[in-house]
């Protein structure tokens, strides 16, 4: 039986759009992502990522997300982002339906071997697996891009031998938003990888990318877009709007941050083309009342 996570990814590929995958950091940011998904009728991947795991632990982050999800009608998948081998196994036990094993730092042959093992285990439990090839630098880091880009031949072999469901690629993206003019996406490289890889492609570090490049990447085979920094900055602005120059209750600041993050997330969902697509997968009430 095809899982919801698999159906969402395949639906995005068939429909020529991308699904937004966004990191949650606390209750309010999780609520913001779900509210944006409800208001735009968008499916969404809620990502338990590298920042929140050291902060509260994988189990606590998952349980917090599940509690908020239970209050929402949004079509969603809870996804582990950049997980280690041990974290992936724990995530499968906890009930995640989508995981990313990040073995990009490993030698290529070892990456294939370990990712294959992860995929075999995950598929036994109906969990889909994302992996990454190539290196993604932090914003404004000086890099030789040719050494960071995903190799086409390696991508073809990697997917064939590991059986992963999606592949994250490096094509000029960075983690964070660069203060300098960003590297243009290597869009022709996306096309070359798509032509030899039979699974949907994923783009990490989608914050700060010009809208025309985002649309071009989607047209060339990217069907999951990971973004965090743009949404985090929107939340931060809400807090600063409330607290700059005056004292106010913590909850007032968090609520304003949530409001601005909702709007920023809705913009991403419309840009990615996933707005209006959730009803293709499940029946959603016309109106959902929320206390948040």
Residue 81 annotated to the active site: yes
Catalytic residue (choose from 14, 81, 241, 247): 81
Largest CA distance in the chain: 58
Q: Phi and psi (nearest 5°) for 255?
A: -65, -40
Q: Phi and psi (nearest 5°) for 100?
A: -115, 120
Instruction: Give the number of other CB atoms < 10 A from CB of residue 208.
Output: 17
Say which residues have a Cβ less than 8 Å from residue 118's Cβ, sequence separation at least 6.
85, 88, 99, 101, 129
Closest listed residue to residue 36, CA positions, set 231, 285, 280: 231
Length of the chain (residues): 292
> For residue 248, what are the CA distances in angstroms to 27, 71, 235, 243, 245?
19, 27, 16, 6, 10
How many Cα atoms sit within 13 Å of 253 on the Cβ side?
14
Kindly give the pairing relationship between strand 76-83 and strand 44-48.
parallel
Residues recognised as catalytic: 81
């Amino acid at each position: 039986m095809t899982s919801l996570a698999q159906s969402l990814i395949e639906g995005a590929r068939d429909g020529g759009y991308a699904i937004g995958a966004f990191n949650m950091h606390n209750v309010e940011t999780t609520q913001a992502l779900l509210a944006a998904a409800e208001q735009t009728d968008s499916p969404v991947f809620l990502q338990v990522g590298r920042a929140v795991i050291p902060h509260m632990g994988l189990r606590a982050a998952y349980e917090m997300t599940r509690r908020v999800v239970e209050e929402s009608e949004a079509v969603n998948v809870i996804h582990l982002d950049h997980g280690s081998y041990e974290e992936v196994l724990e995530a499968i036990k906890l009930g995640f339906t989508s995981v990313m094993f990040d073995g990009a730092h490993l030698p290529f042959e070892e990456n294939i071997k370990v990712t294959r093992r992860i995929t075999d285990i995950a598929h036994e439990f109906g969990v889909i697996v994302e992996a990454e090839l190539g290196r993604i630098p932090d914003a404004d880091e000086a890099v030789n891009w040719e050494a960071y880009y995903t190799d086409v031949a390696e991508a073809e072999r990697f997917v064939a031998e590991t059986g992963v469901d999606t592949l994250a690629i490096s094509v000029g993206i960075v983690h964070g938003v660069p203060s300098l003019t960003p590297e243009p996406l290597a869009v022709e490289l996306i096309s070359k990888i798509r032509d030899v890889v039979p699974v949907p492609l994923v783009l990490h570090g989608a914050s700060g990318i010009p809208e025309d490049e985002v649309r071009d990447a989607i047209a060339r085979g990217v069907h999951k877009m990971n973004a965090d920094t743009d949404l985090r900055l929107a939340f931060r602005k809400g807090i600063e709007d409330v607290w700059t120059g005056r004292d106010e209750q913590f909850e007032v600041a968090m609520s304003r941050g949530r409001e601005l993050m909702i709007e920023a997330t809705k913009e991403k969902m419309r840009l990615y083309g996933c707005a209006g697509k959730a009803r293709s997968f499940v029946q959603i009430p016309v109106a959902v009342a929320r206390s948040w």
